[in-house]
A = this chain, B = another copy of it.
């Protein structure tokens, strides 16, 4: 294969779901792609596609295989879009694609024109529906211990609680480890007041979208699953009652 034949690879952040939150740059990359690779749900979300575009949908747990497949096709001259929900760079496919590149001794892969296209992340979209809970210093943590020891997750949680950062938690609770979210919650409750404001955003940007505002004391693990982004306020995060019975949440710009 000649170097000239190298194609391109765009890692596309679709935004949280609705095309109203997808960037024109992402839409253009999807239109230009000859091959679309991704977890089945996200390929469906990214469509519809034309008959001349090849779709390669796969299971959610094979990020590295998917990334290698993308480089293989692109090195052969294809224009590949790897799709990811939210922002491709936040707990999503961009890191897996670079991990695949880093771990492979494939000069042809290095010649692929690679671009990472950012998007509106799930945390940003959930925050906006509730107001501005991320309006001041915050952190974004994954509670999944698939790739990180649980002891390290607890250590990080304790430190960011001490730093009084707002917490945006991804992958908070799976069927495989339902008890861990309860353990995280117990730890956080040891640092923050019972009336700390909590935002739950589920299926944000999708037809089943739900956003709720509660307190740290009232939050029950059963309200949370892998499709929920959990935002736990700092000591300064406030709520404003809305005339419709709901609430706005914001973290002031001052401390």
Binding site for B on A (CB under 8 A): 13, 15, 18-25, 28, 63, 87-92, 94-99, 101-102, 110-111, 114, 116-121, 124-125, 127-129, 131-142, 147-149, 152, 155-156, 159-160, 162-165, 238, 240, 242-243, 248, 250-255
User: Contacts A89-B124, A121-B124 given: A253-B95 contact, CB under 8 Å?
Assistant: yes
Q: Are A128 and B94 in contact (CB under 8 A)?
A: yes
B89 near A255: Cβ-Cβ < 8 Å: no
Q: How far is the CB of A17 from chain B (nearest CB, A)?
A: 12
5 more CB-based (< 8 A) A-B contacts, given A21-B118, A95-B253: A89-B124, A89-B132, A95-B136, A148-B255, A160-B163
CB pair A139 B139 closer than 8 Å: yes
Measured between beta carbons, the chain B residues less than 8 angstroms from A23 are: 15, 20-23, 120
Q: How far is the CA of A255 from the CA of B156 in the complex (A)?
A: 12
Residues of B with C-beta under 8 A to A20: 23-25, 28
In the complex, which residues of chain B have a beta carbon less than 8 angstroms from the beta carbon of A254? Answer: 147-148
> Which single residue of chain B is at the shortest CB-CB distance from A92?
B135
